[in-house]
Amino acid sequence: MTHTNRKIIALVSDDFEDLELWYPVLRLREAGFTVDLVAEKAQTVYHGKYGVPVTSDYSFTDIKVADYAGILVPGGWSPDKLRRFPEVLEMVRYFDTQKLPIGQICHAGWVLISAGILDGVNVTSTPGIKDDMTNAGAIWHDTPAITDGHIISSRRPPDLPEYMQHYLAALEK
């Protein structure tokens, strides 16, 4: 199936985990999706943990979230920054209420925790935030990737192939 005219948000801020941003973005683009890199400021260069740069397409306030089929939250240290923006939390809550795919990997669970959407949800993450996830009401599993409804989660970069199989399958629903 070709997915032209379907758009995905990939959230960006400094200190994202390079592979956890770029691998999903490239896989989705290969599958025919438009992936917009959305950050605090449009047309701004942000750097990953290992120095890989990315230039944002749009700011959080430039986009109309209803135009998108899903959202990706990469890990690294950027989720700790992203969760401080009310606009980001509103985006995540929108996708949650619409039951549209929300992808989170590694430390990205922090954003979903701050959005208050994990109560009773089966998830995984880096083991380093397991307690944060369970304290937010999530049911944590030590598995490469898991889908619970529209929330797709994964642990770390080596799990990216399985994570993207889950995410792409959720977009097919």
| Domain boundaries 7-172, corresponding CATH code | 3.40.50.880
**166 is a catalytic site residue:** no
Asked if 121 and 102 touch (Cβ cutoff 8 Å), the reply is no
pLDDT (0 to 100) of residue 173: 83
pTM of the predicted protein model: 0.96
**Ramachandran sector of residue 41 (left: φ over 0; alpha: ψ -120 to 50; beta: rest):** beta
Give the pLDDT of residue 98: 96
Catalytic residue among 3, 107, 150, 166: 107
Compute the distance between CA of residue 144 and CA of residue 141 in angstroms, rounded to an integer: 9
First to last CA, the chain: 12
Which regions of the chain are under pLDDT 70?
1-5
Cα distances from 63 to residues 36, 46, 118, 126, in angstroms, run: 9, 19, 25, 30
> How far is 76 from 80, CA to CA, in rounded Å?
9
User: pLDDT tens digit string along 66-75?
Assistant: 999 999 999 9
Burial label, 104 (beta-carbon count in 10 A; 0-12, 13-18, 19+): buried
pLDDT tens digits, 1-20: 444 459 999 999 999 999 99
